[in-house]
Structure 1
């Protein structure tokens, strides 16, 4: 049961960090930054914003997302699912 709780907590932490990053990059209200929110249309991420996401992923999570891969992401959920698949250890990653 503890692993399940830790997994949910880690998932929630990841989502929170991602919302913080996207809010900082776009200036969008955090309440509109949901899994279903479209990066360009709903949040206002432009081409420069996509590069900022690459930098933030490296700085905050210690991972590198390929530019071609990032440009395929259409929603916040696309990015979150990708980050979740990498099994990032948020306890050792830097704060946003």
Structure 2
């Protein structure tokens, strides 16, 4: 799976499952401040990522993930 496919899947589940406005989804968007991801959303993201990408998110690995670009890179490192 390439970077574009990852970005598209993430965008789709943010819009469809978490009801994030599409204009809030851009590479440098901060997950909490700009996209509006809270702790309840994070639980949903863990389930969605496992379903869509086939791996479990470990909370300690997400410590340095602040932006959508970081999140894309994290997923890419796991599925690439």
TM-score normalised according to structure 1 size: 0.71
- 1:17 is matched with which residue: 9, 28, 53? 9
Query: Partner residue of 1:4?
Result: none
Q: Please identify the structure whose Cα radius of gyration is greater.
A: 1
> Which SS does the other structure have where 2:65 is aligned?
coil
Q: How many residues of Structure 1 are paired with residues of Structure 2 in the alignment?
A: 80
Query: Partner residue of 1:44?
Result: 36
Separation (CA, whole Å) in 2 of partners of 1:11 and 1:41: 24
Is the aligned partner of 1:53 residue 2:45?
Answer: yes
Query: Partner residue of 1:92?
Result: none
Q: What is the Cα-based RMSD across aligned positions, in Å? A: 1.8
TM-score normalised according to structure 2 size: 0.83
CA separation of 1:25 and 1:73: change in aligned 2, threshold 3 A? farther
> Which SS does the other structure have where 2:27 is aligned?
coil
Give the gaps of 5 or more residues in structure 2. none
> Which SS does the other structure have where 1:55 is aligned?
helix
Structure of greater relative contact order (alpha carbons < 8 Å, 6+ residues apart): 2
Give the gaps of 5 or more residues in structure 1. 1-6, 89-96
